[in-house]
């Protein structure tokens, strides 16, 4: 029970990787704050031993401040912050409007800055840590993901910078870059395609481990970096991607 008596806040925890992460934190004894814009966050929180759902948009400073305050009010501390909520925009930058660009950067990158800023005093008090969820798109992208790749590369850069800024305060900051994982985000990408079966076959050909990932496999990497087992690790990026970045980044 690595997180007995500790409090973890996981954004985007109503589905997918965030949901799996919230469940694993709870299984290891943590109080868990589920933040999401989607109603399903309530159901996820209700299924945890000590769960709290806070509805909020991660790109809104007011919502972020309120979620952090609610976490500390309810559970008394904040020990692990997981910046996981995100959106994709599967289109070329040539077709991306300035409004779409701003929204992708706000939900994926501004959010991480806002949460770090709001949570730092509480993380400093607890000697806590932060895990930011980036993507394999920060290591080697593919066509039609420019805004998302830019935002996720920004998350990796922010992780390094925040790790240095927070090291003197005793707070660690790391990132996890998932590969392709079977979630609603992956399904949404497939739904946009004319020939999804062919795309799945192409994707599988690129996977060194021969399959895409499960949300729980990414959650394991997140819990490791958030735990005391990673006490000497800060400013790093862990690719939990089945090896796909090793292949694509040297293609
Ligand atoms: N699934 C993949 O293949 C994959 C690959 C690489 C990286 N990632 C990253 O992993 C993380 C989780 O992805 P997932 O596949 O589980 O996604 P998902 O779409 O299954 O879940 C994302 C959750 O975030 C919530 N959300 C979206 N916008 C929000 C906002 N503005 N405020 C609050 N909540 C919001 C959604 O309601 C949803 O519950 C994301 O950071 C994503 O970029 C996923």
Confidence of residue 176 (pLDDT cuts 50, 70, 90): very high
The verdict on residue 177 lying in a domain is: yes
Are the C-beta atoms of 237 and 191 separated by less than 8 Å? Answer: no
Query: What is the position in ligand 1's atom list of the atom closest to the CA of 13?
Result: 39
Once rounded to an integer, what is the mean pLDDT over residues 43-54? 98
Cite the beta strand spans of the chain per DSSP E. 7-11, 31-36, 51-55, 80-83, 129-133, 172-178, 237-240
- How many domains does the chain divide into? 1
Using the structure block, give the residue that is written with the tokens 């395609």: 193
CA of 125 to the centre of ligand 1 (A): 29
- How far away, in angstroms, is 114 Cα from ligand 1 center? 17
- Evaluate if pTM is beyond 0.95: yes
Q: Is 92 helix (H, G, I), strand (E, B) or coil?
A: coil
Residue tagged active-site, from 93, 113, 115, 148: 148
In the chain, the N- to C-terminal Cα span, in Å, equals 41
**pLDDT score, position 214:** 98
| Distance in Å, CA 186 to ligand 1 centroid | 10
Give the C-alpha separation, 57 to 241, whole Å. 27
Residues 185-237: tens digit of each pLDDT: 889 888 888 899 998 999 999 999 999 999 999 999 999 999 999 999 999 99
pLDDT single digits (tens) 49-88:
999 999 999 999 999 999 999 999 999 999 999 999 999 9
Bridge partners, residue 239, by sequence: 177
Q: Indicate whether 54 belongs to any domain.
A: yes
In a domain, 13, yes or no: yes
- Protein residue with its CA nearest to atom 31 in ligand 1: 57
For 112, the domain range is 7-248
Q: What is the pLDDT of residues 82-127, one digit of tens each?
A: 999 999 998 999 999 999 999 999 999 999 999 999 999 999 999 9
pLDDT at 250: 67
CATH code, 109: 3.40.50.720
What is the C-alpha separation between 161 and 247, in angstroms, rounded?
27
**2 within some domain:** no
Domain for residue 1, yes or no? no
Question: Looking at residue 251, what is its pLDDT?
Answer: 56
Task: Determine, yes or no, domain membership for 239.
Answer: yes
Instruction: Classify residue 121: in a domain, yes or no.
Output: yes
In a domain, 227, yes or no: yes
Q: Is 148 a catalytic residue?
A: yes
For ligand 1, say whether the CB of 151 is within 6 Å of any of its atoms. Answer: no
């Amino acid at each position: 029970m690595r997180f007995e008596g500790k409090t973890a806040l996981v954004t985007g925890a109503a589905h997918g990787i965030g949901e799996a992460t919230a469940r694993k934190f709870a299984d290891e004894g943590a109080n868990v704050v589920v933040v999401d814009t989607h109603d399903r966050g309530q159901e996820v929180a209700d299924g945890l031993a000590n769960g709290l759902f806070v509805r909020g948009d991660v790109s809104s400073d007011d919502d972020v401040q309120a979620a952090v305050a609610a976490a500390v009010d309810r559970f008394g501390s904040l020990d692990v912050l997981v910046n996981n909520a995100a959106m994709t925009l599967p289109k070329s930058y040539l077709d991306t409007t300035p409004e779409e660009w701003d929204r992708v950067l706000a939900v994926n990158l501004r959010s991480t800055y806002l949460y770090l800023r709001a949570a730092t005093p509480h993380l400093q008090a607890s000697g806590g840590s932060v895990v930011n969820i980036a993507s394999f798109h920060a290591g080697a992208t593919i066509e039609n993901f420019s805004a998302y790749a830019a935002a996720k590369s920004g998350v990796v850069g922010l992780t390094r910078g925040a790790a240095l800024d927070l090291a003197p305060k005793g707070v660690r900051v790391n990132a996890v870059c998932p590969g392709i994982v079977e979630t609603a985000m992956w399904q949404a990408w497939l739904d946009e395609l004319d020939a999804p079966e062919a795309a799945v076959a192409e994707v599988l050909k690129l996977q060194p481990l021969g399959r895409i990932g499960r949300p729980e496999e990414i959650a394991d990497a997140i819990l490791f970096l958030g735990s005391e087992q990673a006490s000497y690790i800060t400013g790093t990026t862990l690719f939990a991607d089945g090896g796909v970045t090793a292949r694509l980044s040297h293609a």
